[in-house]
């Protein structure tokens, strides 16, 4: 990837346009909910206005930065090996998240304060209507990764490289987290570090975008299809079997994720690009 000098004017324009698009999306979401559309569907439908708003507000930018954007998506960089590893990284991220949830519940770190909460565990798998699931995947696993990778990794992280790669990855991950729910900031920040590392080492947006799409796609399966209740009673804690098992899964998957990132970095250094 050629070294690009992303100006402060460009970064301010991208930031302002992103905020404006999200404000417009929030207004539309509230309006849709007032018409009787449920929260999840309203959130998905409202996000469809984000791409056209960004295209209109940043139209001059798309013209001046077209070479930069084209270099982020070189077809020759989209290999089966890259797709496979990026998908595996996304899958490992989701397994790590679930393992810490199970471990946290087993050892009492996550618990419901509702005395009438269902103890469980009770889980069922039944997807919503096909059109709802399809809409969720289009928005969250296709549109969102594309927009967020272009803005956060492509523009913000590239602009921050002048202060060093570590600084760029950390700060762009912080910006990435801020545009999500507050309770999700720690998780999103850590995911941002992984995505930022992928972008830095592979020198294109393909890897981080595939991983981002994988994570979001798996989250959609949880949200649209999985239903569960599990609230262990305090006097039953700790639950050693599920807790220890979850910890073992976590400590097994983390080195695998780091290994894949290391392999990407090693191969990128050997690449003539």
Q: Is 3's pLDDT higher than 70?
A: no
Neighbours of 262 (CB within 10 A): 13
What are 75-132's pLDDT values in tens digits?
A: 998 999 999 999 999 999 999 999 999 999 999 888 777 766 767 788 888 888 999 9
pTM of the prediction?
Answer: 0.93
Tokens 């999840």 -> residue: 40
pLDDT tens-digit readout, 194-229:
999 999 999 899 999 999 999 999 999 998 998 888
d(CA 265, CA 237): 42
- pLDDT-derived band at 1 (thresholds 50, 70, 90) equals very low
Do 101 and 187 touch, CB atoms closer than 8 A? no
The answer to whether 199 and 153 are in contact (CB under 8 A) is yes
Backbone angles phi, psi at 12, to 5 degrees: -60, -40
């Amino acid at each position: 990837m050629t070294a690009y000098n992303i100006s402060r004017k460009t970064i301010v324009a991208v930031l302002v346009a992103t905020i404006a698009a999200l404000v417009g999306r929030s207004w539309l979401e509230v309006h849709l909910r007032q018409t009787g559309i449920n929260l999840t569907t309203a959130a998905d439908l409202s996000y469809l206005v984000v791409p056209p708003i960004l295209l209109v507000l940043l139209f001059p930018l798309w013209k001046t930065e077209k070479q930069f954007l084209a270099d982020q998506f070189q077809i020759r960089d989209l290999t089966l090996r890259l797709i496979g590893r990026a998908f595996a990284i996304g899958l490992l991220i989701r397994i790590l998240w679930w393992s810490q949830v199970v471990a946290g519940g087993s050892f009492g770190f996550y618990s419901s304060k509702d005395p009438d909460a269902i103890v469980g565990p009770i889980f069922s798998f039944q997807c919503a209507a096909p059109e709802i699931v399809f809409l969720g995947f289009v928005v969250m696993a296709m549109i969102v990764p594309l927009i967020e990778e272009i803005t956060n990794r492509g523009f913000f992280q590239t602009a921050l490289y002048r202060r060093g790669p570590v600084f760029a990855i950390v700060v762009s991950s912080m910006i990435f987290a801020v545009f999500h729910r507050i309770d999700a900031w720690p998780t999103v920040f850590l995911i941002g570090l992984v995505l930022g590392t992928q972008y830095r080492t592979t020198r294109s947006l393909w890897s981080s975008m595939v991983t981002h799409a994988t994570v979001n796609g798996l989250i959609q399966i949880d949200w649209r299809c999985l239903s569960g209740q599990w609230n262990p009673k305090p006097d039953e804690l700790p639950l050693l079997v599920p807790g220890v098992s979850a910890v073992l899964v976590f400590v097994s998957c983390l080195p695998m994720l780091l290994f894949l990132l290391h392999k990407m970095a090693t191969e990128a250094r050997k690449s003539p690009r």
